[in-house]
Every structure is written in C-alpha cells, then in structure tokens.
Amino acid sequence: MINFKSIIAEELTKVTNITNIEEYIEIPTNKEMGDYSLPCFKLAKELKKAPQAIASEIKEKLNIDKELISKIDVVNGYLNFYVNTVAITKSVFEEIEIKKEQYGSDEIGKGKNIVIDYSSPNIAKPFHIGHLRSTVIGSALYKIYKFLGYNVIGINHLGDYGTQFGKLIEGYKRWGNEYNINENPIDELTKIYVRINDLCKEDENVLEECRNNFKKLEDGDQYCTEIWERFRELSLKEFQRIYDLLDVHFDSLNGEAFYSDKMDEIVDILDKSGKLVESEGAKVINLDEKNMPPCLIKKSNDSTTYATRDLAAILYRARTYDFDKALYVTSYEQILHFKQVFEVAKLLGIDEKYTDNLIHVPFGMVQLKTGKMSTREGNIVKLEDLLNEAIDRARKIIEEKNPNLENKEEVAKNVGIGAVIFNDLYNSRIKDEIFDWDIMLNFNGETGPYIQYMFVRTKSILEKVEKLPLVSEIDFNLLKDKHSVELISEIYKFNEVLKQSAEKNEPYIISRYLINISQLFSSFYNENKIICEDEKLQNARIYLTYCTNIVLKTGANLLGIKMPNKM
C-alpha cells in the first residue's frame, strides 16, 4: 500500500536536509486542514525563520507527483498536504483485494518474541468479575501483536501457590468429607476456605498449622501435594468453561507452583549479589535508593513470596523465550509490586535487554452502576454468571426485535459476550470500568452491538450482488463524494491504528476506531444508494462496502469479538 506520509517526508527531506522530518508530520484533527500537516514552528529555531516564511519557501521548492498529492497549501505556519482521492482509493482497494482478512497485518514483529502474562486467576477460588479485565485486555494484546508479525507467548500465571493453599489443605483435612468438591468444586472449596479463615482468626495455632502445611507443600510432602493437585485440576476444568465462552487461549499454564523448584537459585543469586539482607528474621532487598519499601524475598518461616516467584518467572522466561518484551497485565493495585520486582530483577545477572523490557500494563477496577459489587453470595460477582446474564439479555432483545432470526442462540452469545468485551475495551485501560447493561447492549450507541449491527448491514448489502467486482473493473473517480472519501481515508489508517495500539498497549484505540468506521459507513450508506442501476457506480460502492466489512470483522476479532452473520 502507498505510504503517503513517507512520500511527503522524502520530498521534505530533499528540500530541507532534515533527515528526521517524518517525525514532525501530523494528521490534522480537522479534515479541512488536509490529510497530513507539517507544523513549521518546530523548524523555526533550526532554520532561523518565521514559521509562515518556512512553510511558503518549502512549498515553492516541493515537487510531489500530483497524482499522489493533489494540493499543498500554507495556513498560519502549517504546510498542509491533501492526498489525491483517486490514489488513496486505488491503494486501499488493491491492498484489500490482495490481503483480504489480513488487511492491516504487518511484519514489524518478525523475529521478535513477546511474552504476555494475563488472566491469572487463583485456583480453588471463584473466577470473578475482577479477572475479566486482565483476561480480555491480555487476550486482545495477544491477538494484536500476533497480527503485527510478533511471535507471542500467552501465559496464564495461575495463582496456584501460597499460604492460602496451606489454609485450604488444613480445612480439607478437617472437614473435607462434609463437602462434595467433585460436583461443585469452586463453590465448595470457597466454603472450606471461608470456614478455615474464620477459625484462623480465632485460633493462632490453627493459622500456624496452615503455614506449616504450605511449607510442607513447598518441601514436596506427598499428602499436601496430592490434595493441591486435585484442587488445581478441578479448578482448571471450571475455568476452561469461561475461557471457552470468551474464546481466550494460552500457550502456557505455568502458574506460581511451576517455579517452586526454581526459587533456590533466585535466593542464591540475590545472596551472592550482596544485596539480600536479613530483617526481623526475613530476607529482603532494600530499595531505599529507589524510594520504595524493601522487597520481601523470604518470610521468617523460610517460605517464599509472590516476588520470589515472579523473579523466578522472569529468569525462566528470559532463558526459555528470549523475549524482546514481557508484558504483565494486572490491576493498578500491583504497580508498586512490579516496580519492586523489576528493580530487583536487575540483580539476576541477565542481559539488560530483558530487564529493560519488563512492562507492567496496569488497568482500573470494575464497578457496577450502583458503585459496589454484591450478589446473593456476598461481594463476589462470578464472571460466568455475568457472561450468561449478558447472553440472556441479548436473547431477550432478539426475541423482541427479530423473533424469527436464524441461529438465535449463537447470535445472542456473540452479541452478549461481544457487548461485555467491547465495554471493557472502549476506554483507556487505566480508567475504572462501569457496568451498565442499558448502555452496553444499546444497538445505537458506541457499543459492541452497534459495530456488529453495522457489520451485518454490510454483509446484507454484499449478499444482494452476484459477485464482488474486481478492483481492475472499478472507476475510482466515482468515489469522490465527501462520505466516500472520509470512509476510505479512515480505512487507509487501519494498519497505523493497530501499530499505535500495540505501541501503547491500549486496545481501546482499536475500539474507538471501529466506532468511527461504523459511523462513517452509516453516513455513506444513508447518503448513497449502493445497489443502483448504474453498474459502474454500484461496483465502486459495493467494493467500498466490502472494504468496510473486512475492517470491521478483522478489528473486532482482534478485540476478541465475534461477528454474527445476521441480527
């Protein structure tokens, strides 16, 4: 596809001798100010002239092919470039004809490894609404990076280790025969956990027993290990149902327990660094110089911590995956934890290319519209219940609007789950997410169902023609009206949007883009008769509809949203 920005930059370099001038080129927010703009204020100091004079002089010297850039003008120190509408239409149509569903993909990540650590629920505990964001954001980033050519390793770093398992083992020892954990494992294990927790508050000796159980688990005690393995296997079966609903996949399920035999090496390395010191019987790394509290490596009873296991994971992932980036998708509550861990990782003796590319991708909390979470089961909203409710609500809307729709169940699932995912990814991840069913499932707002509805409309139009025209048959001059040009220009940006989303680890950039495409297509559809008597005009408009269809489906799939064929 023609890279108009690079062509403009190349010509600007020739007349200014500024080699990095492409970095200065902007895309104006006001379309009337051109497709690309050079703010000459940034060159004033270097060229020792007024911005307006610089812009005028550059314009006089430029010699850009008018078949690519139709107009250049100077406005208040800005040099504005207008792309030839025929050139951009031809470029987009030809690229989509070749790439089809791969339109927007890239090879910028070729030969680079990205590790993404996401979802990470605790086994033997409910998979609740709080895990939704890590799962959905991480899965979207996984798909985006992969589409850009990176080799991506998705890791579900399960919470399958720690003192809580000492408590669970103790509770199971005492009351296991009172609970049917095979039938309803997570709920039953939660009851055991609540019960033993209450007992620990009353009796310090019981809490000590729980700590000892975890130490036994770390030391490979057969009884404790067998119980733990059973809890893990039952939990993973339960979790898989939710991952199947969300269509989320992982390349590794190595959780915290996987690193149990790898932590002695971490302690040894840190010890040899001379930075590991004793504090009240525990072992810590002081981080005073970094204005952070100490990083706890070993507790006073000699058991390990989250930090120790995260450090072991960093060392293992560097050796195993030779990563160029390692992303950790967790809530902003863990910002300090990861700052500490990433700082201590510099003492592990691994190459800086690893420690410099450890990236925490924090996100905000999830809230219901009422501002607090509550169900009959306490303060936990189970994710599976929430997804099923989304599907139920979508099903009711379909029954009201289109009771004779084929494959109603599949459509309800795609719309309901799509609405939940889109709602999660519509704003910058650091913002807290508000759950409002009325907004999420609105077919007219800036929602998942809205982009699905627009996709279905494009599909319905395409089904009315016998075959898709070849790009060689299309007269590009027939797509010069305002609505066609705006839609084509936006479709042209798809690859840039994907790269920006990956660069910032922000899927919402794609979500907002898809809303924009949907709204522009709606305007194009309302202002132009697509199926018409003029065959040449119809061919041009049909192909633009096809391009919109491709971008909506590809973009939605990258977010984890499936498109229904009918609604």
Closest CA to 487 of 452, 523, 459, 457: 523
DSSP state of 80: E
End-to-end CA distance of the chain: 34
Q: Which two tokens stand for residue 486?
A: 């705006």
Nearest 5°: phi and psi at 62?
-65, 145
Closest CA to 307 of 331, 282, 284: 284
Residues 139 and 449: their CA atoms lie apart, in Å, by 20
Angle between helices 408-425 and 132-147 (to 10 degrees): 90
Closest CA to 329 of 159, 153, 505: 505
Residues 343 and 323: their CA atoms lie apart, in Å, by 18
Specify which residues 362 forms β-bridges with: 330
Residues 224 and 232: their CA atoms lie apart, in Å, by 12
Residues 542 and 348: their CA atoms lie apart, in Å, by 58
Q: Is 49 a catalytic residue?
A: no
Task: Give me the catalytic one of 5, 48, 125, 272.
Answer: 125
Kind of pairing between the strands at 36-39 and 78-83:
antiparallel
563 touches 553 (CB < 8 A): yes
DSSP state of 270: H
DSSP, residue by residue, 165-230: HHHHHHHHHHHGGGS-TTTSHHHHHHHHHHHHHHHHHH-HHHHHHHHHHHHHHHTT-HHHHHHHHH
Residues 498 and 106: their CA atoms lie apart, in Å, by 9
Provide the 3-class DSSP secondary structure of residue 16. helix
Task: Give me the catalytic one of 48, 61, 100, 128.
Answer: 128
Task: Give me the catalytic one of 90, 131, 413, 493.
Answer: 131
Kind of pairing between the strands at 151-155 and 113-117:
parallel
Closest CA to 393 of 469, 333, 449: 449
Specify which residues 331 forms β-bridges with: 363
Residue with tokens 């160029």, as numbered in its chain: 324
Residues 342 and 259: their CA atoms lie apart, in Å, by 17
> What is the tally of helices (H) and strands (E) in the chain?
21, 12
Q: Is 131 a catalytic residue?
A: yes
Residues 49 and 311: their CA atoms lie apart, in Å, by 54
Beta strands in 209-350 (DSSP E): 276-279, 282-285, 295-298, 325-331
478 touches 528 (CB < 8 A): no
Residues 316 and 333: their CA atoms lie apart, in Å, by 25
CA atoms within 13 A on the CB side of 263: 19
List the catalytic residues: 125, 128, 131
